[in-house]
């Protein structure tokens, strides 16, 4: 294997001079690295260095930072194993700087772990602890962290061992492990636990762990671990008082170390042999191995002295580099603060922008709502004014319609509808006066019925149109002979009804005479011809009995006025007749008036007033 790697190393070292051939595939380079890693873990062989360096250059050439970092760490671990602490430090430092610029958390954690390893070797335990903590903190964010976690625990346990904290080491090395953790790491953790038990004097537990490792065959692949296990077995036997076993196991261990550079293990095994033989009383053998042990120790001490010196130099550099690193970290923290402040500024600006946008949006919404409400109000106003206009128009139309429905189309006078719509209020006004609710005044109304005499003859002689003209002229005469307050109604055909307020029957006589006379003298012109007409008038006062105003209703008074008209017609026409209360018994509303008019006149229950002295009371036939 090592021969192959050396060949690879030479090839790699030469490759850069062969142009494109230098660019190996990434996968191939990774394979190469894995093989180198295994070899280093087995034995820190210096001959591996050219291959590692060649691979490192190759990774640099291809810009593969990850592999570059890994190879830097690997190279560092090899040179540091051979006491080149300062060079190792430098390599680790390079790896750390590269890892710092990488976003790969796993890579950073691996770098921290390697530096912790270096610090443990340099006995800078505090620094080692710091890097272990950093690595542990970093991997918390990684999902697939079982392997690196186990490795951190291993180095943490070794750190505790170096500091003499065996129980802590035991606890740390006993961390539960996932199945994905490499066998080598599991075996190293087990060896550390066994070593811690032995340090605590618990050799059965220490032995059980080694036995389990043997059963699982975890140690066979790695020579270094096999030797470590052999030393451990011999040491356990010695501590257990099984001296013969200790001798056998130590000798087996020495056989494995033959031809290797593991001087430390050799000296430990020689010491165990010397101690075991001494315990058996075989002082000759004990002396023999003690001598060998002394020789080995001498060369080890020489190595250690050299390495101590180197360590001191490295520690000095380490302190300096650490200071630089701390300054760098402080600078980084400052930078991070600046970045956070900058991000805060950006965030604030974004928030400000959002705020303004929101304000603009709200303002726009507000303006829209105000405008919409204003529009709505305008629209409502327009609608209202339209409704008002329409209502007024409707009222006007209704008024016109009412006027039309209350007006006689031929004469322009009020018609019967009008009379019936106003008569109740007129009667009510009279009643208010009777009952004292209104100021005292005249509550008298005169109901008058006027009828044109022989109108049929006019129609027959001059035609219907001529009759219409007479009717119109006749209406004008009625208007001229009455007051504004009087109501003139075309009662039907050539018959007219007048309702005259504030007029007693004495004063009424004058008005009746004026009408009769005006008609009599008026020259009605029809078909260019002057014709003369007369009219007959009947009237009656309301209340009919002033002392008993409710005795007869207006309908009865109208009937009595009609009776007066009948008397005028029955006599000579061109006359007016007023029907008044007589001295006899007062009539009641239930009395049949029209048919008994003559009887009531003769019996004195009714009396008359007329321009005629000779009134005829009997109804004229036809
Ligand atoms: N030209 C015209 N004639 C009408 C109108 N209304 C009714 N007359 C007519 O008026 C006439 C009324 O006739 P009569 O009831 O007999 O009454 P008179 O001829 O006036 O006779 P005395 O009332 O008894 O004097 C009828 O011939 C109707 O046709 C109208 O609006 N225009």
- Cβ–ligand 1 contact at 453 (below 6 Å): yes
Domain 416-610 in this protein, CATH class: alpha beta
**Cα-to-centroid distance, 492 and ligand 1 (Å):** 9
pLDDT of residue 475: 97
The answer to whether the peptide bond before residue 543 is cis (omega within 30 degrees of 0) is: yes
pLDDT tens digit string along 179-225? Answer: 889 888 888 899 999 999 999 999 999 999 988 888 877 666 777 78
* pLDDT > 50? residue 560: yes
3-state secondary structure (DSSP) of residue 299: helix
Residue 232 and residue 194: Cα distance in Å, rounded? 8
Please give the distance of CA 77 from its chain centroid, rounded to a whole number: 59
Q: Which one from 494, 513, 548, 583 is the annotated catalytic residue? A: 494
Nearest CA to 535 among 553, 515, 507, 550?
515
pTM of the complete model:
0.46
* pLDDT > 70? residue 12: no
Point out the ligand 1 atom lying closest to the alpha carbon of residue 471.
32
Point out the ligand 1 atom lying closest to the alpha carbon of residue 492.
6
Residue 517 and residue 539: Cα distance in Å, rounded? 16
Residues 421/424/428/429 CA torsion (nearest 10 deg): 40
Nearest CA to 593 among 515, 538, 547, 548?
538
Question: Taking the domain 222-303, which CATH number applies?
Answer: 1.25.40.10
Q: Residue 9 corresponds to which tokens in the numbers above?
A: 């190393």
pLDDT of residue 442: 65
pLDDT of residue 446: 95
- Cβ–ligand 1 contact at 468 (below 6 Å): yes
Helices 2-14 and 49-61, interaxial angle, to 10°? 40
Q: Residue 322 corresponds to which tokens in the numbers above?
A: 């650490």
Please give the distance of CA 111 from its chain centroid, rounded to a whole number: 48
CB 93 within 8 A of CB 321: yes
- Cβ–ligand 1 contact at 444 (below 6 Å): no
Phi, psi of 225 (to 5 degrees): -70, -35
Domain definitions of the chain by residue range:
1-102, 106-202, 222-303, 361-406, 416-610
> Which are the contacts of 114, defined by CB distance < 8 A and separation ≥ 6?
73, 76, 77, 92, 95
Q: How many CB atoms lie within 10 A of CB 536?
A: 26
Q: Which residue has the higher pLDDT, 271 or 442?
A: 271
**Cα-to-centroid distance, 414 and ligand 1 (Å):** 19
Q: Measured on CA atoms in the order 559, 564, 567, 572, is the torsion positive or negative?
A: negative
Phi, psi of 608 (to 5 degrees): -130, 160
* pLDDT > 60? residue 371: yes
Residue 610 and residue 612: Cα distance in Å, rounded? 5
ipTM above 0.90, yes or no: yes
* pLDDT > 70? residue 478: yes
pLDDT of residue 3: 46
Residue 600 and residue 582: Cα distance in Å, rounded? 8
CB 283 within 8 A of CB 261: no
Atom 21 of ligand 1 has which residue's CA nearest to it? 454
Phi, psi of 272 (to 5 degrees): -60, -45
Range 413-438 average pLDDT: 88
pLDDT of residue 89: 83
Q: Residue 459 corresponds to which tokens in the numbers above?
A: 């129609």
- Cβ–ligand 1 contact at 461 (below 6 Å): no
Nearest CA to 74 among 31, 122, 111?
111
- Cβ–ligand 1 contact at 459 (below 6 Å): yes
- Which of 1.25.40, 1.10.10, 3.10.50, 3.40.190 is the CATH number of 106-202? 1.25.40
Q: Residue 597 corresponds to which tokens in the numbers above?
A: 């008019």
> Would you call 103 exposed, middle or buried from its count of C-beta atoms within 10 A (0-12, 13-18, 19+)?
exposed
pLDDT tens digit string along 302-352? Answer: 877 777 777 777 777 777 777 777 777 777 778 778 888 888 999 999 999
Range 24-35 average pLDDT: 85
Q: Residue 558 corresponds to which tokens in the numbers above?
A: 């109208």
- Cβ–ligand 1 contact at 451 (below 6 Å): yes
pLDDT over 70, % of the chain: 93
3-state secondary structure (DSSP) of residue 489: strand
Q: Which residue has the higher pLDDT, 30 or 496?
A: 496
Residue 247 and residue 503: Cα distance in Å, rounded? 165
Residues 130/135/136/140 CA torsion (nearest 10 deg): 140
* Two domains, one topology: 106-202 and 416-610: no
Nearest CA to 578 among 501, 494, 513, 491?
513
Residue 44 and residue 27: Cα distance in Å, rounded? 24
**Any catalytic annotation for residue 555?**
no
């Amino acid at each position: 294997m090592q021969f192959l790697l050396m060949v690879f190393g030479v090839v790699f070292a030469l490759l850069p001079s062969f142009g494109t051939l230098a660019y190996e595939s990434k996968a191939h380079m990774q394979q190469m690295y894995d093989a180198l890693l295994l070899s280093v873990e087995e034995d820190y062989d210096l001959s591996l260095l050219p291959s590692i360096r060649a691979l490192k250059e190759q990774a640099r050439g291809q810009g593969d930072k990850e592999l570059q970092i890994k190879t830097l760490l690997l190279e560092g671990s090899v040179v540091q194993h051979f006491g080149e602490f300062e060079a190792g430090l430098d390599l680790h430092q390079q790896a750390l700087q590269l890892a710092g610029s990488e976003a790969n958390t796993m890579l950073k954690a691996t770098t921290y772990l390697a530096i912790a390893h270096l610090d443990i070797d340099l006995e800078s335990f505090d620094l080692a602890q710091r890097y272990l903590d950093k690595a542990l903190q970093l991997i918390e964010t990684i999902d697939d962290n079982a392997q690196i976690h186990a490795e951190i625990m291993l180095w943490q346990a070794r750190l505790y061992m170096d500091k003499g904290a065996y129980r802590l080491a035991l606890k740390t090395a006993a961390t539960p492990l996932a199945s994905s953790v490499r066998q080598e790491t599991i075996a190293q953790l087990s060896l550390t636990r066994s070593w811690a038990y032995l340090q605590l004097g618990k050799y059965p537990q220490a032995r059980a762990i080694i036995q389990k490792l043997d059963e699982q065959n975890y140690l066979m692949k790695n020579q270094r671990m096999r030797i470590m296990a052999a030393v451990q077995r011999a040491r356990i036997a010695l501590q257990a008082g099984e001296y013969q076993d200790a001798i056998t196991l130590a000798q087996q261990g020495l056989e494995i170390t033959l031809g290797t550079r593991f001087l430390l293990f050799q000296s430990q095994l020689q010491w165990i042999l010397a101690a075991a033989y001494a315990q058996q009383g075989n002082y000759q053998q004990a002396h023999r191995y003690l001598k060998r042990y002394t020789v080995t120790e001498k060369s080890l001490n020489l190595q250690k002295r050299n390495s101590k010196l180197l360590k001191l130099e490295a520690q000095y550099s380490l302190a300096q580099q650490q200071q630089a690193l701390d300054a760098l970290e402080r600078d980084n923290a400052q930078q991070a603060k600046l970045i956070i402040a900058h991000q805060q500024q950006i965030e604030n600006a974004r928030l400000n922008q959002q705020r303004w946008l929101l304000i603009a949006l709200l303002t726009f919404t507000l303006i829209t709502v105000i405008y919409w409400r204003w529009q709505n109000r305008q629209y409502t106003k327009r609608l209202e004014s339209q409704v008002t206009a329409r209502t007024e128009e409707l009222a006007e139309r209704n008024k016109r319609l009412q006027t039309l429905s209350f007006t006689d189309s031929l004469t322009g006078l009020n018609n019967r509808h009008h009379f019936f719509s106003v008569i109740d209020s007129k009667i009510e006004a009279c009643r208010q006066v009777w009952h004292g609710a209104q100021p005292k005044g005249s509550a008298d109304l005169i109901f008058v019925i006027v009828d044109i005499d022989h109108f049929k003859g006019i129609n027959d002689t001059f035609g219907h149109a001529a009759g219409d003209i007479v009717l119109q002229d006749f209406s004008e005469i009625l208007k001229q002979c009455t007051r504004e307050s009087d109501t003139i109604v075309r009662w039907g055909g050539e018959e007219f009804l007048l309702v005259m307020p504030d007029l007693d029957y004495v004063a009424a006589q004058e008005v009746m005479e004026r009408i009769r006379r005006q008609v009599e003298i008026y020259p009605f012109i029809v078909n260019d011809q002057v014709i003369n007409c007369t009219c007959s008038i009947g009237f009656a006062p309301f209340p009919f009995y002033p002392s008993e105003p409710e005795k007869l209703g207006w309908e009865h008074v109208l009937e009595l006025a009609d009776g007066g008209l009948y008397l005028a017609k029955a006599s000579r026409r061109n006359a007016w007749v007023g029907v008044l209360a007589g001295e006899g018994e007062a009539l009641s509303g239930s009395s049949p008036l029209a048919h008994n008019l003559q009887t009531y006149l003769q019996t004195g229950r009714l009396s008359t007033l007329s321009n005629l002295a000779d009134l005829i009371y009997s109804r004229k036939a036809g």
